[in-house]
Amino acid sequence: MTVWMWPKTSDFNLYNNLLTESLYRAGMEIEDLKHGKFMLKIGKIKARDIIHIHWMHHAYQHRLLPLFAFKSLVFILTLLYLKAKRVRIVWTLHNLYPHNAKHKRMERFMRTLICRLCNHIVVASDSIKRQVMKEFQVPERKLSIVKHGHYLGAYKPEGTDFRKRYGIGKEADVYLFLGAIKPYKGVEELVAAFNAVKTERTYLIVAGKADSQMEAFFSGLADTKNIVMDTRFIPNEEVADLLGAADIMVLPYKQITTSGSAILALSFKKLLVMPDTPFIDDYFAENMVVKYNPHEENGLQRAMRTALHVKRMEMSLPYEEVLQELDWGNIAVKLKKVYQG
C-alpha cells in the first residue's frame, strides 16, 4: 500500500514535512502528489493505494463561475475514476471553507459532494467534526479526529537578535503577529488595538509576506510608533529567533477552524491572544490563551492588556503535557489506522 500525499512537503509550512516524516517512521511508503503533478501521476496510482489530500480547492476553484463549474466537473470525474480503480481517498479538512471563497454556494456544493466521494475525512478536533457533520451532511462513521502535530524542534534558533535588529530594548513588552498578512487575518484591527493600548515600553512586530491590499494599508498608516512592519516572507531559519524576541503572540483572525500559527506559538510556549473559538478548548490548557469576543467593541484591546498582566504573573503551565498530546508518533499511528480502513 502506497500513500500518495498531496502535498508531501511544503516550503511554506512544515506541517506536511513533519507528517510525512512521522509516517515514514511508522513504516509507510509515501509518494508526492503535488497539485501541479496530479494529472501526470494519476496513471501510476494503483488499486488499494491511498490518496491523502490536504488542500484541494486549488484544483477546482476559479474566480469566473463558468470556469469554476468546468474545473469542478473535471475534478469530480477524476475522483470517480480513482474510486473506480479502488483507490482510497482520504481528505484532511483543515478549514471548513477556503479563506475568501468567492462563490460560496458553489463551494458548499463541491465540498458536500467531495465529502461523499471520499472514503474518509480527517479533522483536527471534535468541534470541527461537529461542524463538518452539520455543514456537509457527513455521517459520523466517516470522520476521524487526528490532531495537528506540534512544531517542537522543527524550527532551529540561529542566534539572530531580532530585538536589536528592530531597535527594541530588552525590557520592552513585545506583541508579535507572524504569518502571511492577508485581510481575513485581522491585522488592521490588531494595529488599531495596539495603538489604543501601547505605552513607551510596548511594541508590536508584524512579520510576514503582505499581499497588495495589506501593503496599501501599511503604507497609509499615520501612527506607526513602536510598530515594526517586516512585510517579507519570513524564512524557516528565522522563525525560532523571531518568536524568541516576542512575549505574546496575537492572532486576531476573522475566520479560523484550525490554526497552525497557534500551535506554533504553543510549541514555543508563548502566551496567545486570539478570538474565542472551540479550537482553543481542544488544544490549550487554562491561561495559555487570552480569549476575546471579536464582535465585542474593544474586545481585542482588553485582551491585549490582560495578556500583559498574565505574562507578568509568570505562572507555571502544563506545556509539556499539552504538547505530548500533539506528538507526531501518535498522529502517525492514528493515520495508519485510517489508511487501513
Among 128, 132, 165, CA closest to 146? 128
Query: What is the pLDDT at residue 272?
Result: 97
- Number of domains making up the chain: 2
Q: Which helix (H) or strand (E) holds 112?
A: helix 104-117
Q: Does residue 259 fall inside a structural domain?
A: yes
Q: Does residue 234 fall inside a structural domain?
A: yes
Q: What is the mean pLDDT of the chain?
A: 93
Residues 139 and 180 reside in one and the same domain: no
Query: What is the pLDDT at residue 254?
Result: 77
Q: Does residue 160 fall inside a structural domain?
A: no
Q: Does residue 159 fall inside a structural domain?
A: no
Which tens digits make up the pLDDT trace of 82-95? 999 999 999 999 98
Give strand pairing partners of 50. 3, 88
Q: Write out the residue range of the structural domain in which residue 32 sits.
A: 2-149+326-339
> What is the domain-level CATH number for residue 57?
3.40.50.2000
Which tens digits make up the pLDDT trace of 30-76? 999 876 666 667 878 999 999 999 988 988 999 999 999 999 999 99
- The grid cell for 290 is 487570552
Residues 92 and 204 reside in one and the same domain: no
Q: How far is CA 61 from CA 94, 112, 121, 158, in A?
A: 17, 15, 20, 39
Residues 192 and 94 reside in one and the same domain: no
Residues 292 and 335 reside in one and the same domain: no
Determine the average pLDDT of the residues in 124-143: 95
Residues 247 and 129 reside in one and the same domain: no
Q: Does residue 48 fall inside a structural domain?
A: yes
Rounded CA separation 132/138 (Å): 7
Residues 173 and 313 reside in one and the same domain: yes
Query: What is the pLDDT at residue 73?
Result: 96
Determine the average pLDDT of the residues in 310-338: 94
Residues 176 and 308 reside in one and the same domain: yes
CA torsion angle 154 278 233 247 (round to 10): -70
155 in Cβ contact with 240 (< 8 Å):
yes
How many angstroms separate the first and last alpha carbons of the chain? 12
Determine the average pLDDT of the residues in 109-118: 97
Q: Does residue 202 fall inside a structural domain?
A: yes
Residues 333 and 299 reside in one and the same domain: no
Rounded CA separation 305/315 (Å): 17
Residues 81 and 200 reside in one and the same domain: no
The C-alpha cell 508531501 sits at: 8
Q: Does residue 196 fall inside a structural domain?
A: yes
Among 261, 287, 268, CA closest to 14? 261
Query: What is the pLDDT at residue 208?
Result: 95
Residues 266 and 235 reside in one and the same domain: yes
Which tens digits make up the pLDDT trace of 217-251? 999 998 999 999 999 999 999 999 999 999 999 99
* Residue at 71: amino acid letter: K
Q: Does residue 183 fall inside a structural domain?
A: yes
Which tens digits make up the pLDDT trace of 179-229? 999 888 999 999 999 999 999 999 999 999 999 999 999 999 989 999 999
